[in-house]
């Protein structure tokens, strides 16, 4: 029996993903970790498992810390070939590097990096990264980047960089299953409907841009959480299931993403693969992959008039869905990750 387990171990690379603790609702990194594990559900070469159950000790000064002994022994017992660490503005990331390094694990690192000036505390973020994270980059076998900004940054630090985009998680989670009201392709568009998805009162998401749209002209639907002033033309959706969100994407005639900065944007990808055009700021970095794609309009962040004009011109326009699906194909991206993990482990 032990020989059989050894043979299976040689055939399959086990990747242990470490994600920063999620406080409150799920965030983009948590979504990424879950989707990556699902992407390898039926793959015989690589097995990926996020570490969700590591106990956390709250700290007012340091936000959150893992209970070190428990975290270290959990990672040791997992006996992973590769430890894939996510995040950079958290002391749990530092603990992850320390544990993986002491255990002699091969390390892959995805920072989900934002330029420092885009952070709420730019100087603190820069100091944290350079003092606590950067010294470990020499131990990293590969850095996975998401866009041109972080690719240029980590190449400047002489890191071994591989740029891999995200993919549409709806395709991974539900494979476009029919909804209770019918298939997604049969959902009728609301010609006046605009959809916003994100935290309403977060400075980064740009909810305030919606107030610059003329009231009563559009049917504005907002999915997320937060206390904001609700206009007569706004409908708020909170804690809705995935199927309902899919239906809203399919029904909308435009999705708006006026963010201060997004390292990628699941919202843009989910909209475009639902056949819904997108208006987004020039700081939403999925744009690095969408050159010449129909159904995408980009306005300069801070230009409210440009936002309003882009909305008026783009609502109901056509989307080059097939091109978007080919760029962000889950099968193609699975192969990129598989080749990366195999290469890190010295296998072809």
Question: Token pair for residue 245?
Answer: 């969100």
Instruction: Say how far apart CA 15 and CA 341 lie, in whole Å.
Output: 8
Lowest-pLDDT choice from 45-54, 152-161, 310-319: 45-54
Residue keyed to tokens 């909209």? 271
Average pLDDT in the 315-334 region?
93
Distance from first CA to last CA of the chain, Å, rounded?
A: 27
Q: How far apart are CA 102 and CA 96, in angstroms?
A: 10
Residue 265: the pLDDT is: 92
Q: Dump pLDDT digits (tens) for 257-279.
A: 999 999 999 999 999 999 999 99
CA dist 47 and 38 (Å) reads: 10
pLDDT value at residue 63: 66
- The C-alpha atoms of residue 12 and residue 130 are separated, in whole angstroms, by 35
Task: Identify the DSSP state of 190.
Answer: -
CA distances to 80, 91, 95, 203 from 126, rounded to whole Å, are 31, 14, 18, 19
- Strands across the sheet containing 140-145: 46-51, 13-18, 82-86, 106-110, 140-145, 161-163
CA distance 172 to 227: 32
172 three-class SS: helix
Q: Please identify which residue in the block is written with the tokens 């939403």.
A: 284
> What band does 209 get if pLDDT is binned at 50, 70 and 90?
very high
Q: Is residue 31 very low, low, confident or very high in pLDDT (cuts 50, 70, 90)?
A: confident
Q: 204 or 192: whose pLDDT is higher?
A: 192
CA max distance for the chain: 70
| This prediction's pTM | 0.86
Burial of 161 (0-12, 13-18, 19+ CB in 10 A): middle
Per-residue pLDDT tens for 218-259?
999 999 999 999 999 999 999 999 889 999 999 999 999 999
**SS3 letters across 267-336:** HHHHHHCCCCCEEEECCEHHHHHCCCCCCEEEECCCCHHHHHHHHHHHCCCCCCHHHHHHHCCHHHHHHH
DSSP label at residue 258: -
Q: Compute φ and ψ for 11, nearest 5 degrees.
A: -80, -30
- Arithmetic mean of pLDDT over the chain: 88
List pLDDT tens digits, range 93-126.
Answer: 999 999 999 999 999 999 999 999 988 889 988 9
Strands (E), 124-252: 140-145, 161-163, 193-197, 219-223, 234-237
């Amino acid at each position: 029996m032990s020989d059989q387990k050894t043979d299976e171990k040689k055939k399959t690379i086990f990747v242990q993903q470490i994600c920063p603790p999620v406080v409150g609702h799920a965030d983009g990194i948590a979504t990424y970790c879950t989707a990556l594990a699902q992407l390898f559900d039926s793959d015989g070469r690589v097995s990926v498992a996020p570490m969700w159950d590591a106990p956390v000790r709250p700290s007012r000064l340091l936000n959150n810390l893992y209970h070190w002994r428990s975290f270290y022994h959990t990672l040791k017992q997992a006996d992973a070939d590769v430890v894939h660490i996510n995040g950079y503005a958290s002391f749990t990331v530092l603990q992850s590097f320390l544990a993986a390094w002491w255990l002699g694990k091969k390390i892959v690192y995805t920072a989900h990096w934002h330029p420092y000036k885009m952070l709420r505390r730019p100087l603190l973020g820069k100091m944290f990264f350079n003092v606590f994270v950067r010294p470990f980059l020499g131990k990293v076998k590969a850095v996975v980047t998401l866009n041109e900004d972080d690719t240029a940054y980590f190449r400047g630090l002489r890191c071994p960089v591989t740029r891999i985009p995200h993919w549409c998680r709806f395709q991974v989670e539900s494979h476009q299953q029919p909804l209770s009201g019918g298939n997604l392709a049969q959902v009728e568009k609301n010609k006046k409907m605009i959809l916003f998805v994100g935290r309403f009162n977060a400075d980064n998401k740009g909810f305030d841009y919606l107030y610059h749209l003329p009231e009563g002209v559009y049917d504005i639907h907002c999915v997320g959480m937060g206390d904001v002033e609700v206009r007569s033309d706004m409908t708020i959706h909170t804690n809705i299931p995935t199927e309902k969100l899919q239906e809203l994407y399919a029904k909308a005639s435009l999705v708006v993403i006026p963010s201060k900065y997004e390292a990628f944007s699941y919202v843009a990808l989910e909209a475009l693969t639902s056949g819904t055009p997108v208006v987004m700021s020039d700081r939403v970095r999925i744009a690095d992959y969408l050159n010449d794609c129909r159904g995408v309009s980009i306005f300069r962040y801070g230009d409210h008039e440009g936002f309003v004009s882009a909305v008026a011109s783009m609502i109901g326009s056509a989307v080059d869905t097939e091109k978007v699906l080919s760029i962000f194909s889950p099968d193609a991206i699975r192969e990129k990750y598989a080749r990366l993990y195999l290469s890190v482990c010295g296998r072809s």
